[in-house]
Amino acid sequence: MDMPGEEYKGGGIKISRNAAIFIACTFGSSLLLVGLLCGLLPADDPCNIQVPEPTEPPVEPVETTKALMTTERAEPTPSPGPTASAPQPWDSLRLPTDLIPSHYDIGLRIYIDDEQRFVGSISITMECKQSTHLLLLHSKELNIIPTSVRMLSVDEGWLLPKGPPRLFPANQYLIVEFDEMLTAGKSYIFTIAFYAPLEDGLVGLYRSSYQANGETRYLATTFFAPTDARKAFPCFDEPAMKVTFNLTLIHEDGYIALGNMPLLRSESAGTGWTRSVFAKSVPMSTYLICFVVCDFVEKNTTTGNGVLLRVWAREDAKDSLDYALEKGAQVLDFFDGYFGTQFPLPKMDMIAIPDFAAGAMENWGLITYRESALLYTPGVSSSSNKQRVCAIVAHELAHQWFGNLVTLEWWDDTWLNEGFASYVEYLGTDAAEPDWGMTDQFVSADLQTALDADALITSRPIIVDVETPDDINQQFDTISYNKGASILRMLQNFLGEDTFRKGLANYLDEFAYSNAKNTDLWRVLTEAAVEDGKADIKVEEIMRTWTEQMNYPSINVTRDYTSGFTLSQNRFLINPAANTTTDYDDLGYIWYVPLKYTTSAAPNFTDPTLQWLEPEREQVSIDFDDGMTSEDWLLANVNAYGFYRVNYDEKNWDLISKQLTEDHEAIPISSRAALISDAFNLAVSGQLSMVTAFNLTFYLEDEQDYVPWSVLNQVLGYVDLMLSRSQAYGLFSTYMRRQVEPFYNYVGWNDTVGSHLDQSGRVIAISLACGYGNEDCVNTAIEYYATWMADPENNPVPPNQKSRVYCTAISAGGQEEWNFAYQEYLSTSVATEKNILLAAMGCSRIPWILNSYLELSIAPNGTIKAQDAENVAGYVASNTIGSDLAWDFFRVNWDFYRNEYGSSVFQFSDLIESVTANFNREFQLQELLDFIETHPDQGTGSRAFAQAVDQTRANIRWMEDYEEEVMEWLEWAVTA
Ligand SMILES: *[C@@H]1O[C@H](CO)[C@@H](O)[C@H](O)[C@H]1NC(C)=O
Ligand SMILES: *[C@@H]1O[C@H](CO)[C@@H](O)[C@H](O)[C@H]1NC(C)=O
Ligand SMILES: *[C@@H]1O[C@H](CO)[C@@H](O)[C@H](O)[C@H]1NC(C)=O
Ligand SMILES: [Zn+2]
């Protein structure tokens, strides 16, 4: 799965449920699918119970069969009183392991156009491991048809359920009890039929829509990860319960159907209906199942290794598919080689879904994307959009091995899937686009994001216990993705590329079609290390310190300026005053730290010296080799492979600063980026003087590389956020304008000049220059926008600069400029363009416009899709003029937001983070605490709220400790 990204594109409004309830006979090729209205079941000959398939859409009203409504909340066995007996199996959030499924036959009839519902049946072949009379399945918001429930013992014939099945909605269970025991060692086949509305949601089996030629077209699609397969059919919805499955879909004519596996055949299923039958799947987890019924078009190619790769989109977007197709084929072949195991399916489909909750989802053989993550339109889309497409394609393709072939045992290891894919997506992207400097980009993107998030007391260990769906959803966060990726990159660096790859190949081999835990990976990597003569590297012992406790160390490097230096480690917290008791265990907050260093006396950036810091030794002293003088600098954590911060004594910082000012290229890009980030973060936490950190920014005048600027943009962006209402802001603006000017003049506005990285650098240069009021920049932006307004058919704005140009013009303009953007938002069908406009409309400086914009975003049946409201609130909040408005609006409309996003994977936490990001005053903290106290039902937002409190406290501290100091420094710097 990948995160939605900065822009969000969501779905429609929830529809009311179908009042009239229909049921259908069932279908499919399975010998066991049971006809519901066909009277009694025949005797115990399974061969006799094949039921004629419906010849026309079934429209039998349910009068005779009362369906089991999910709303009825049929509680199982009367709740025990105070004399409570032992807890029941359904009280546990984990399925019992008495029954283990091996195969599903799934048949679904999907009514997309008029009735908006689906009916289905599933036959589950299972093995009884331990005798039981109880079957528990996951089922969520499905209406069960009680008379359809059947259990066949392969040896002994039919077993009758004891009464109708019951639901236990609290834990999303369906409970079926039998009079007779199911016997250990025997096989059973369970069949059940069900139906549900096909809602315009974003999870389970849902309906999405788009506009073509002025009409609305529909599609049915799925999003099951992590716990919503159970919303489409009852199943054992846990990742370790891998099954093969046969899928048959019956859908209206005029649509095509796609599944994980190739289509075997498509045939008529009565007037107006088509039956699509798919090949039997490989063994896989339920969360990876996917199918889509749509009227899309495709482009295809065959990869070097013979896999049919197709990319799909609505017809109007067909011309935007080529880039993903080309890069997808390259990356798929690259991973075949990298992992040493061929992609096991005969085909791979990648499809752009108009309404989509995440960025993409790695369903095996059928990857779904939001449009902005798959479509790239040359001449219209920006280069960052291009990079996003390539990186997300690489991420999802990496999952085909790491996640799909070998799957996490349980969601406490979510990071194994996500951290891994987030790391190797850089390798895949680098293979497809070797000029993009992906190794350096990792430092400004994933690494810094992870270090920021993990410096809070409200962070979490990578591995934590999880049970409820809300817990599981909250696992899909920066810690799993970015920290996971960062520590794997560190591991690869100290193990060595070859050993790491060998270990991975062995791991994929050993656990193919099965499940594994982090300890399995450590064991296999340790074995590879031993084979390669590196037995001293105790992978598990080392990695436990990075995965089982939260946060990370700062490494204190102190030179004696005669012979050498000493190293020590401290747990790093951005706010050391934070209350340090947490819910999580720790290993004493001491780590195994691999530290590579070099010096200006003998610079070596390719193979620097490795020094370990171990938990047992508080301090390590190292002597320099000869030739080191007191005027040479020492650089530790070369190229930022380590997941920690490095602090030096003041003199060494000054030596580094001097080097940067004299010739910054003597220090490589990744290290420059890390130095800036470390200095500012150490300063904020009180371990380094703010003056030392700000002094490092002097060299900016000469910096022309994207990655260090990107990090500067982040750390100074934080300063900007803190100072935005301070009297120091004027000075800060002046300083920033001055420092970015040479870079701005160097890159210019001509988007066609320079490499991909130059283009990315230009975006930052223009963004900062315009943002801090560089006159030439602002005027150019306003001019571009005015030219466009005069001739809307011809947009002259360079694609890469659209965000900043639109924002600048709307910020400087009034109602007319805003309205123009809104009209363009309504008329464009390009997803990325819509997102840019949506963000730019939040840049207005006119409060009533911002307020109407917020109102517009949540209007029922409005022009802005309901799910986009989350981003609108975030955009308005990030505007200094709008931040209070957004926070008030968020509180007033809490019910709406809680309802819409309260169980989402990424969106809810993003929203909470963005509406509180600028809080740095006591009264804001108080408002936040009051709100949390009066709104205890926070769904997937609970951790985000706790983090917002922590971050606000850190911000308040920053203001108290540094506002004045920074102002003095700025005064000195701008007059210097
Ligand atoms: C599942 O599909 C395969 C073809 O892909 C077929 O051979 C097999 O019989 C099917 N299984 C059942 C139970 O229908
Ligand atoms: C691949 O594309 C070609 C040309 O557009 C088309 O004729 C062919 O049917 C496609 N192949 C598949 C397997 O979809
Ligand atoms: C860093 O090390 C030096 C010398 O060992 C010590 O004086 C200083 O207090 C240490 N700083 C931190 C933050 O531990
Ligand atoms: Zn992922």
SS3 466: coil
Is-contact 842 876, C-beta < 8 A? yes
What pLDDT band is residue 366 in, cutting at 50, 70 and 90? very high
* Range from 59-68, 331-340, 598-607, 878-887 carrying the lowest mean pLDDT: 59-68
CB-based pocket (< 6 A), ligand 3 = 556, 558, 566, 568, 570, 687
Catalytically active residues are 396
Q: What's the token pair of residue 333?
A: 């072949």
For residue 62, the Cα-to-chain-centroid distance in whole angstroms is: 41
Where does residue 379 fall: left (phi above 0), alpha (psi -120 to 50 degrees), or beta otherwise? left
Choose one of 248, 280, 347 to mutate for the ligand 1 pocket test, by most ligand atoms within 8 angstroms of C-beta: 280
User: In whole angstroms, what is the distance from residue 109 CA to residue 248 CA?
Assistant: 9
d(CA 779, CA 419): 43
User: Could you report the per-residue pLDDT of 762-771, keeping only the tens digit for each?
Assistant: 999 999 999 9
One-letter amino acid for residue 587 of the chain: L
Least Cα distance to 223 among 294, 121, 310, 291 occurs for: 291
Counting ligand 2 atoms within 8 A of each CB, the residue from 299, 300, 312 with the most, and so the one to mutate, is 300
The confidence score (pLDDT) of residue 582 equals 79
User: Could you tell me which residues come within 8 angstroms of residue 721 by beta carbon, excluding any fewer than 6 positions away?
Assistant: 917, 918, 920
Asked if the peptide bond before residue 89 counts as cis, ω within 30 degrees of 0, the response is: no
Tell me, what's the pLDDT at 70?
A: 46
Q: Which domains does the chain have, with CATH numbers?
A: 789-845 (no CATH), 846-976 (1.25.50.20)
The number of the ligand nearest the C-alpha atom of 226 reads 4
Task: Check: CB of residue 831 under 8 Å from CB of residue 375.
Answer: yes
User: What is the pLDDT at residue 53?
Assistant: 35
Kindly state the tokens that stand for 693.
């950190």
> What tokens does 822 get?
């809104």
- How many A from CA of 399 to the centre of ligand 4? 7
- Position 379 scores a pLDDT of 83
pLDDT tens for 252-298 read 999 999 999 999 999 999 999 999 999 999 999 999 999 999 999 99
The owner of tokens 């190619």 is 301
Q: Answer whether 265 contacts ligand 1 (Cβ < 6 A).
A: no
Q: What is the model's pLDDT at position 68?
A: 60
Minimal-distance CA residue to ligand 3 atom 5: 558
Indicate the pLDDT class of residue 943, thresholds 50, 70 and 90. confident
Tokens of 348: 């791979």
Q: Which ranges constitute the DSSP H helices of 772-840? A: 775-790, 802-812, 815-827, 831-840
Ligand lying closest to the C-alpha of residue 125: 1
For 104, phi then psi, to 5°, come to -120, 140
Say which DSSP state 279 is in. Answer: P
**pLDDT given at position 751:** 87
pLDDT(38) > 70: no
Backbone angles phi, psi at 539, to 5 degrees: -55, -50
Count CB neighbours of 716 within 10 A: 22
Q: Which ligand is nearest to the CA of 349?
A: 2
Range 845-869 average pLDDT: 88
pLDDT bin (cut points 50, 70, 90) of residue 316 is: very high
pLDDT bin (cut points 50, 70, 90) of residue 84 is low
Confidence at 63, pLDDT banded by 50, 70, 90: very low
Is the predicted pLDDT of residue 17 greater than 80, yes or no?
Answer: no
- Predicted confidence (pLDDT) at residue 9 exceeds the cutoff of 50: no
Q: Which amino acid is at 458?
A: T
Q: Which of 71-75, 304-308, 500-504, 597-601 shows the lowest per-residue confidence on average (mean pLDDT)?
A: 71-75
**Which of 49, 105, 122, 246 should be mutated for ligand 1, with most atoms under 8 A from CB?**
246
Q: CA triplet 674, 675, 679: central angle to 5 degrees?
A: 115
577 pLDDT band, cuts 50/70/90, is confident
User: Which burial class, exposed, middle or buried, applies to 746 when counting CB atoms under 10 A from its CB (0-12, 13-18, 19+)?
Assistant: middle
pLDDT at 200: 85
Placement of tokens 């069960």 in the chain = 144
Q: Which residues sit with Cβ closer than 5 angstroms to ligand 4, an ion?
A: 1, 418, 421
Q: Residue 569: enclosing H or E segment and its boundaries? A: strand 564-572
Give the span between the Cα atoms of 900 and 908, in whole angstroms.
9
Query: For residue 190, what pLDDT is reported?
Result: 95
Residue 432 has pLDDT above 90, yes or no: yes
Burial 444-468 (b: 16+ CB within 10 A, else e): bbbbbbbbbbbbbbbbbbbbbebee
- 906 CA distance to ligand 2 centroid (A)? 36
Strands (E) located in 263-327: 263-268, 273-278, 291-294, 297-302, 308-313
Q: What is the mean pLDDT of residues 204-211?
A: 93
Atom 6 (ligand 1) nearest CA: 280
The winner for highest mean pLDDT among 495-509, 574-588, 892-906 is 495-509
Mean pLDDT over 633-660 rounds to 97
Distance CA 251, CA 249 (A): 6
Write the CA distances from 778 to 19, 768, 880, integer angstroms.
56, 11, 18
Confidence of residue 240 (pLDDT cuts 50, 70, 90): very high
Q: Is the pLDDT of residue 462 over 50?
A: yes
Mean pLDDT of the chain: 89
Ligand 1 atom 2 nearest Cα: 280
609 CB near ligand 2 (under 6 Å): no
Which stretches within 512-593 are classed as H helix? 518-531, 539-547
pLDDT of 383 over the 50 cut:
yes
pLDDT of residue 5: 57
Q: If you count them, how many residues does the chain have?
A: 976
Quote the CA–CA distance of 761 and 801 in Å, as a whole number.
11
624's tokens: 């320099």
In a 10 Å sphere around its CB, with 0-12 CB exposed, 13-18 middle and 19+ buried, how is residue 534 labelled?
middle
For 40-186, strand residue ranges (E) read: 60-61, 99-111, 117-128, 132-138, 143-153, 157-159, 166-168, 173-182
Distance CA 460, CA 597 (A): 29
Give the span between the Cα atoms of 66 and 58, in whole angstroms. Answer: 17
- Which residues does 75 contact at the CB level (< 8 Å), separation at least 6? 166, 168
Higher pLDDT, 589 or 24: 589
CB 479 within 8 A of CB 454: yes
- According to DSSP, residue 86 is labeled S
- Whether residue 66 is predicted with pLDDT greater than 60 in this model: the reply is no
Q: How confident is the model at residue 59 (pLDDT cuts 50, 70, 90)?
A: very low
Average pLDDT over residues 952-968: 94
- Nearest-angstrom CA–CA distance, 80 and 413: 35
Contact predicate 361/290, CB 8 Å: yes
Q: How confident is the model at residue 905 (pLDDT cuts 50, 70, 90)?
A: low
DSSP 171-197: GTEEEEEEEEEEPTT-EEEEEEEEEEE
Q: Based on the number of CB atoms within 10 Å of its own CB, is 867 exposed (0-12), middle (13-18) or buried (19 or more)?
A: buried
Question: For residue 851, is pLDDT > 50?
Answer: yes
pLDDT tens per residue across span 945-957: 998 999 999 999 9
More confident residue, 851 or 862: 851
Contact 203, 57 (CB under 8 A): no
Separation of alpha carbons 774 and 804, rounded Å: 13
Give the DSSP letter of residue 464: -
CA atoms of 851 and 844, how far apart (whole Å): 10
Assign 111 a pLDDT band (cuts: 50, 70, 90): very high
What pLDDT, on the 0 to 100 scale, is given for residue 498? 95
Tokens of 663: 């010739």
> How many other C-beta atoms are found inside a 10 Å radius of the C-beta of residue 967?
18
Range list of H helices, 636-689: 650-663, 669-685
Pure H helices in 292-365: 322-339
**Mean of pLDDT values over 512-521:** 96
Span 833-846, average pLDDT: 95
Average confidence (pLDDT) over 903-911: 78
